[in-house]
Amino acid sequence: MIKIGIISAMQEEIQALLNELKNVTTTEKGMRTYFSGTLFNKKVVLVFSRWGKVASAVTTTQLINDFDVDEIIFTGVAGAINSKLNIGDIVLGKNLYQHDMDASPLFEKFEIPILRKKYLETSNTKQLLKAANNFLNSYHQFITVHDALKFQITQPKVIEGDIASGDQFISSIEKIKQLNNWLPSACCVEMEGAAVAQVCYEYQIPFSIIRIISDKANDNATIDFPKFANTIASHYALGILKNYFA
């Protein structure tokens, strides 16, 4: 049986998964707790990496080397930098860029030295897309009407799109415009995905990423992130992965 590693930046983002995990054993390594067990009859290891590219890269490397996983899925929240995205929408990452990678003039902007790649591709997007759509078709089995209304989620959708990662919390219109200019295909921004993708690429481990839009990454981004992560994002992950593992 294959084993799947599931990572989030905050425990709140996978709490609903932890609540469903069976036959649980825990391992403490590098100031992180790795939760091994079964989820919907699949062998999994769950861990929250903490915020940022370094933290997530360390966690991913440990997960691959010590837990013998065959696939890694990252799940969590992100800020929209595409005006067509709304709070509660789902982005399944296609190409992941490190928007703060700039080794010019030695290399082109965004190019990862030695790898000679400007972005890292994900895998299994078709299967994840089907799972996400099935989740949306049974949305209120996982998200209460009250919680959806609290965060003004009305007609959530799923898209496949590019993601920009960097060690910055994006909260200004000016920075969004800059990112739109630099990376016009990127639809949301976060702080871990491209780093996890790079580690998986180097270890030849299939990688995919689910991001739930929590805000518009602008000056009005005043959402209660832990509350959103716990009541919305973690239940999205639960619903999508239940369908993905089926």
Catalytic sites, residue numbers:
13, 215
Residue 143 · residue 234 · CB < 8 Å:
no
Q: Which of 46, 30, 74 is nearest to 199 (CA)?
A: 74
Is beta strand 120-121 parallel, antiparallel or unpaired with respect to 90-98?
antiparallel
**At 57, phi and psi to the nearest 5?**
-65, -45
**How far is it, in rounded angstroms, from Cα 43 to Cα 161?**
28
**How far is it, in rounded angstroms, from Cα 206 to Cα 189?**
21
